[in-house]
Amino acid sequence: MLMHSVTDPADPHERLLDACCAAIERGEIDVLFQPQFRIQDGAIVGAEALARWAHPIDGPIAPEMLFMLAAERGCVPQLTRHVAHRALAVAAGWPDHLRLSVNITPADVAAPGFASDFAALVAQACFQSARLTVEITEEVLLADVQAAAAVLGKLRALGIAIALDDFGAGFCNFRYLKLLPLSGLKLDRTMVEGIADDPRDLAVLRGICAMARALGLVVTVEGIETPAQLAAVSGESCETYQGFLSAPPMSAADFAQLAAQQR
């Protein structure tokens, strides 16, 4: 049972903390989908599932804040399961060529039986594991990289792709690329902010892409917001991108409509 302390209802942070886990239990956390595009021709190849909470007083709560609140209250596994369950149910109705990406956290990886529970969730949704990507950040690996590698290896054995998310925003420990059963890298938006204007930024991107290519990793670029940024990554060995230039996070219905327009 979760124990809640007496809090000041006038404090927005405390108010959100008190409401967070209850909102998850009541199914009030929505899932949006940010389209992912193939750089070569602009075709939609899938979407990343993102949690959104429309708080009645404080308004929309971004995924980062939502997971931070859930971590403070100890209900991250419930939040991850809720988002994955809803996203998989929606994606099961997509055309077979579209992929789904979902995020998992350190609390998920550390939970006993997570890999088998997650695999059961995928099976219950009748979603093909070969069309699923699990995104992790370096934070997942800090406590025990060997244990994390074992959990991720179980998912990889089921055909689920593993992508290292926000690459370039953290410690960038290249040792992880050797130890983990990775399928791809997802470059953080900070890696592309200056690539259209700064030769040094472009050189860094080029080096990372070359390394990924040598390791057989698929590269997805986050945070593409300008045509110049897209043009810059188009000249490198990056396969896919997402960003507000082409599409923001959207409802399941809007994503289905957008994908249908490209058939």
For the segment 32-71, what is each residue's pLDDT rounded down to a tens digit?
999 999 999 999 999 999 999 988 888 888 888 898 899 8
**pLDDT at residue 93, rounded to an integer:** 97
| HSE-up of residue 99 (Cα within 13 Å, Cβ side) | 23
pLDDT for position 124: 97
With a CB cutoff of 8 Å and minimum separation 6, the contacts of 155 are 115, 118, 119, 134, 162
pLDDT of residue 227: 96
What mean pLDDT, rounded, does the chain reach?
91
Q: What's the pLDDT at 3? A: 38
Identify the residue with better confidence: 234 or 7: 234
The CATH T-level fold of domain 12-262 is TIM Barrel (3.20.20)
Structure tokens at 38: 């193939």
pTM of the model: 0.91
Q: What is the reported pLDDT for 92?
A: 98
The pLDDT assigned to 138 comes to 85
E strand segments, 99-244? 99-103, 132-136, 161-167, 184-187, 218-221, 240-241
Where does the pLDDT of residue 172 fall: very low under 50, low under 70, confident under 90, or very high at 90 and above? low
At 230, is the secondary structure helix, strand, or coil? helix
Give Cβ neighbours of residue 131 (< 8 Å, ≥ 6 apart). Answer: 46, 91, 96, 98, 99, 100
Average pLDDT of the segment spanning 91-95: 97
Which is more confident, 141 or 241? 241
Q: pLDDT band for 178, please (50, 70, 90 cuts).
A: confident
CB 39 within 8 A of CB 240: yes
